[in-house]
Amino acid sequence: MNRVLRCVHLNYPPVFEKLDLSVEKGTITSIVGSNNCGKTTLIKLLSGFLPTHEMICFGHAYAEMENKAEWYRTVQVIFAKQEFIFLRPTVLEELLFPLENSCVDPNEMKEKAMKWGKEFQLDSLFSKHPRDLDYFSKLRLKIATSTIIEPEVLLLDEPFFSLNEKERMKLIVFLHRLKKKGITIVFTTNHLEDTLYSDQLYLLEKGKVSLKGTPLEVYQKEEEVSHMGLSLPFFADLSSKLKFYNLLDEIILDEEKLVDTLWK
């Protein structure tokens, strides 16, 4: 396994005691739990915002031993519930800003900024001031400026918390585009519905990992999930009920596959 980021017996009293968590390179990992379970604290620890006494590893090295400037370039973090800070007067200039201190050829910077902005559906907003954007556009701009230098890891704390269903699905598409570019993504959420397209899922409860595995593996532990006060995604919940009545042999998350199976 190619682990890119991991906690090794992470102690951060009173929130965590010997917490183990491993993130594979080029995957999307979701961390789920109710409020006050430690999700935001964990993101702050993984991002280096909080000291950890050599318990966070990046590759084969401890975070505390890494050059901080290099660490922050390699691991980008966004706290979606906080006010986003933008430093330039237009969206396009904001996209150019991270490239000015990178190794990108000055002659290619604008082309890359425009291409990256288009991928996040920001091209129609290039001339606008970032403060005049709606929340979802600001979030897309923040993700775009954080990833235009192509870090190895992107950490997102509660990126779905105020999005409607259409925006939520768009964000999932954007995250998968970043995954295809080789960027490893870790995000936190209160809702299992947001985790359907993750590769790996951790459920936190009172500062501990209660369940972990692929989303499907975790959804199958319905009783334990329910005990934590979480609800299964719609199709996982429906499949589970149909399975209980012997109408299905397994939990199916795909709508078309579910219908086809029931009609056979």
- Tell me what the mean pLDDT of segment 8-17 comes to: 87
pLDDT value of residue 65: 66
Q: Picking from 13-22, 42-51, 156-165, 248-257, which range would have the lowest pLDDT averaged per residue? A: 248-257
The secondary structure of 212-264 as a DSSP string is EE-HHHHHT-HHHHHHTT----HHHHHHHHHHHTTS-SS----HHHHHHHHH-
Percent of the chain residues topping a pLDDT of 90: 51
Give this prediction's pTM.
0.87
Does 29 score more than 50 pLDDT? yes
pLDDT value of residue 169: 87
Query: Higher confidence at residue 91 or residue 234?
Result: 91
Which range among 69-83, 94-108, 162-176 has the greatest average pLDDT? 162-176
pLDDT value of residue 219: 85
Taking residue 88's Cβ as centre, other Cβ atoms within 10 Å add up to: 14
Max CA separation in the chain (angstroms): 64
pLDDT value of residue 22: 92
Distance, C-alpha 11 to centroid of its chain: 23
Q: Quick: pLDDT tens for 137-188.
A: 999 999 999 999 999 999 999 999 999 989 998 999 999 999 999 999 999 9
Q: In what order do the strands lie in the sheet with 61-62?
A: 16-24, 3-12, 56-58, 61-62
Contact (CB, 8 A) for 74 and 219: no
Q: Picking from 38-52, 97-111, 157-171, 233-247, which range would have the lowest pLDDT averaged per residue? A: 233-247
- What the block records as the tokens of 71 is 């660490």
Spatial CA neighbour of 94 closest among 80, 109, 82, 104: 109
Residue 172, classed as helix, strand or coil, is helix
